[in-house]
Structure 1
């Protein structure tokens, strides 16, 4: 499997050159023709930007001229798909907002909807949202959420996410968080799991800064649920559950419980930096009623400055009858990864059950 940066590699750039040359046979395409050599060594985002800018350079003129070429490629070339679509959609959006005409804006939104099934237009729609939030949201809420095309409905939710990975932020969405809730209200009962999962991820994004807004939306949906609503809400509120947010936990049925918690206990006092810490614990429901439990664990990592930071990991959900005991065993890996560096020294693990932290067991992470 290629690394993320390699998703747009020289073969993708060469495929884009072929598709555009076929759709615009008289264009010389000097910038596009050298692009396959220039993208080597660049991160993914900059590769997409380079190809976008090459398209805009080699296909001058207004939005209509660029759209005509893109539409011909879309109609005539089945290979006009995959990761080459990312820079194409961004070129369409960039040309439209630079032109500034409402007609160009609306035509670009329609073309993004046509293109999204070939990969996704979720990154390009951010350009439209940043340029005219109200006009873009109007198209999305009036048209896209009602589309018969599942890819377009998913685009409505995914493209407007507050923290869409790899995408630029949209200030209007972040400063007015409720502005995207009508999209989620329209799509949370969608018949496609593909769309519903996007809604859940969007709700999770929303919960990061505005937990009450996210919990309020989830509560409305659960008042008149579809068969898949409970699952969607659980996924959408997962970050709040990890944080121990009381309203989210209560909504999901993880209410306060009377428990006896033994542990966690680590099996080894020292763990090599490329090894794993194994820990055990036991939880007993000492109350008189069944207890529904969200059981997570927290790794308290040593930072470079000598402080500690906690990262919460999902462990299990259980319902314990009065007097019932649950045995817990988990192994957490410290295998090095590119996005996180582990520092040798004192670390710890603790449990978090229905938002309440319980116990802490220390261990030494060693360099050898």
Structure 2
């Protein structure tokens, strides 16, 4: 499989240089190609993107506004995707003395790529001024711009630095989230849910208080709240359970918990089954998960929670549940020989567990 960094390759740069030459008669394609591809093999994906921004700075007009106008023409003829992050990256690096122009540029570029990383450079330097612009973006007709308002101001955006201002004062993004809490576009709703999930890690009660005031009868809002609360629900946090009416004081019994084997070779699946029985006179709303404690290289166990199902278990009702889990190496998870642990969790409480062994080779 081709490495992701190869998106920034010789063919890409020749195409890009050609487009800049069309948009700017003074653009020096040979200089650009020589500088941007020098020792490129040693550079990572993000290093290549940053190199591109830096070389564009030396080959585009020194007048920032003129450079942005050229870039706005060029991006219309490029392939949408990760490589288009070069355009907002340039703005994130060099546009701080031209705030209004840069905000318009980021709004423009995000529709053809994403400005979520670049806008954080402005939030870091002047949070209050930038967040006011993003509050306006949250009402934009473009779902790309609305999503940028939420995604760019996330406290813990992956691949970027933390926004300490939002972590210290989560209310600073409330206007944005309120404007987007019932958005019709799934792209936007996912961002809002992830933003709230970020907040829940340091400001749990604030996040729960906020969503408790929202209209859960609205399908879009309910989806956001549910997705945003996923981490808290898996932990069995009482506040998150109450948001959705999950039973706090569960009375159930796990019976007939079985594994189809106790030794699993890498590449095989482990099948397990159990029966959950209500011990309560009233119906209980339950979220049932299973936890696999994976053995790490140093020997310690690391838990990973997986969703099984949600059920409304009536008085004395029994529900049979079965599941198959494949054990295979991925780039995000490497398995190690040794004893592992499987647990059944109901509304955040572990009610049953069994040990099994993974065999490698």
- Find out whether 1:130 has 2:131 as its counterpart: no
Q: After the TM superposition, which residues 65-84 of structure 1 pair with which residues of structure 2 at under 5 Å, given as runs?
A: 65-74=66-75, 77-79=76-78, 81-84=80-83
- More displaced stretch, 358-367 vs 12-21: 12-21
Cα distance in 1 between the residues matched to 2:264 and 2:167: 41
Q: Name the CA shift for 1:9/1:263 in 2 (closer, same or farther; >3 Å).
A: farther
Structure 1: how far apart are the matches of 2:106 and 2:112?
Answer: 10
Identify the residue that residue 206 of structure 1 maps to in structure 2: 199
2:243 corresponds to which of 251, 271, 296? 251
Shift of 1:345: 0.5
Distance 2:212 2:225 in 1: 9
Structure 2 residue aligned with 1:234: 226
Going from structure 1 to structure 2, the CA distance change for 1:339 and 1:31 (only over 3 Å counts) comes to farther
The residue that corresponds to 1:221 in the other structure is 214
Taking the aligned partners of 2:195 and 2:70, their CA distance within structure 1 comes to 33
Query: Is the counterpart of residue 271 in structure 1 residue 264 in structure 2?
Result: yes
| Cα deviation 1:132-151 (Å, max 9, x = unaligned) | 1111101111x201211121
RMSD across aligned positions (CA): 2.1
SS in 2 for 1:300: strand
1:121-169 CA distance string (max 9 Å, x none): 112111111121111101111x201211121111111111122223333
State the distance in 1 between where 2:354 and 2:325 align: 13
Distance verdict in 2 for CA 1:292–1:54, change over 3 Å:
same
User: 1:154 maps to which residue?
Assistant: 147
CA distance change for structure 1 residues 249 and 43 in 2, over 3 Å: closer, same or farther? farther
The superposition leaves residues 278-318 of structure 1 with CA deviations (integer Å, 9 ceiling, x where unpaired) of: 21111111211111111111111112222212111111111
Counterpart residue number, 1:32: 32
Q: 2:162 corresponds to which residue?
A: 169
Specify whether residues 125 and 304 from structure 1 end up closer, same or farther in structure 2 by C-alpha distance, changes over 3 A only. Answer: same
Moved more, 112-121 or 59-68: 59-68
1:156–1:5 Cα change, 3 Å: same
Gaps of at least 5 residues in structure 2 are none
Matched with 2:59 is 58
Number of positions where the alignment pairs a residue of Structure 1 with one of Structure 2: 359
1:289 maps to which of 282, 286, 289: 282
Local SS of the residue matching 1:228:
helix
Which residue number corresponds to residue 310 of structure 2? 317
Contact 2:151 2:195 (8 Å CA) reproduced: yes
Distance 1:362 1:321 in 2: 30
Report the Cα distance in structure 1 between the residues aligned to 2:107 and 2:333, rounded to whole angstroms: 37
CA contact (8 A) 1:264 1:351 kept: no
Q: Does structure 2 conserve the Cα–Cα contact (< 8 Å) formed by 1:23 and 1:69?
A: yes
Helix, strand or coil for the counterpart of 2:93? helix
Q: Indicate if the aligned counterparts of 1:31 and 1:55 stay in contact, CA closer than 8 A.
A: no
Q: TM-score under structure 1 normalisation?
A: 0.90
Distance 1:64 1:4, change over 3 A: same
Structure 1 alignment gaps of length 5 or more:
none
- Normalised by the length of structure 2, the TM-score is 0.92
Deviation digits for residues 40-94 of structure 1 (CA, Å, limit 9, x no counterpart): 46432222212122212222524223212213324xx433643332011110221
SS in 2 for 1:341: coil
1:96 aligns to 2:95 (yes or no): yes
